[in-house]
Structure 1
Amino acid sequence: MGLEVEIIDAIKTKLNPASFEVINESHLHAGHAGDDGSGESHWKIVLDAPDLADKTRIARHRAVHAALGPDIINRLHALAISFR
């Protein structure tokens, strides 16, 4: 299973989003620091999660990190998170 599928599954099952996008931005960082050559090092998540709406920005980011868990987080060089 690829990392994108793992991220999608974790977001769907743990955050109950109304909608979301998972975007692999690794190609934009090819050859830069943090590029491990896997093509799966830099990611962006755009999330509409009503359950997180009343939380602070930091709490929302922490919730996303917790949902992904250390196994996924430790394989990422960069993760951008934005909320709708």
Structure 2
Amino acid sequence: MSMTDTIHAKLTQQFAPLHLEVIDESQLHHGHAGWREGGETHFRVRIATRNFDGMSRVAQHRAVMQALDDELKASVHALAIEVLPPGSI
């Protein structure tokens, strides 16, 4: 399973999102810290979920980071998180 698929599966299981995009942006970071041949090191997540209702932006980001803790410790170097309001989808 690719890292994109792993991230998508974990966030879907944890947050039951109304909208979820997992974008591998590794190619944009060629030669930068953490980049590896083959990519799957730098990701952007766009997520909309009711699970974040009432949470601060910091708490939302922490929840995503916690859900992906193993991946961030093992192989994902960077993760950009965009939380979208559920009504915007």
Provide TM-score, normalisation by structure 2. Answer: 0.86
Secondary structure in 2 matching 1:44 = strand
Runs of 4+ in structure 1 displaced over 6 angstroms?
none
State the Cα distance separating 1:32 from its structure 2 match: 1.5
Distance, in Å, in 1 between the alignment partners of 2:50 and 2:33 is 35
Provide TM-score, normalisation by structure 1. Answer: 0.91
Give structure 1 stretches of 5+ with no counterpart.
Answer: none
Cα RMSD of the aligned pairs, angstroms, is 1.0
1:27-66 equivalences in 2 (<5 Å): 27-66=27-66
Give me the identity figure in percent.
Answer: 37
Aligned residue in 2 for 1:4: 4
Aligned length: 83
Give structure 2 stretches of 5+ with no counterpart.
Answer: 85-89
Distance, in Å, in 2 between the alignment partners of 1:19 and 1:67 is 17
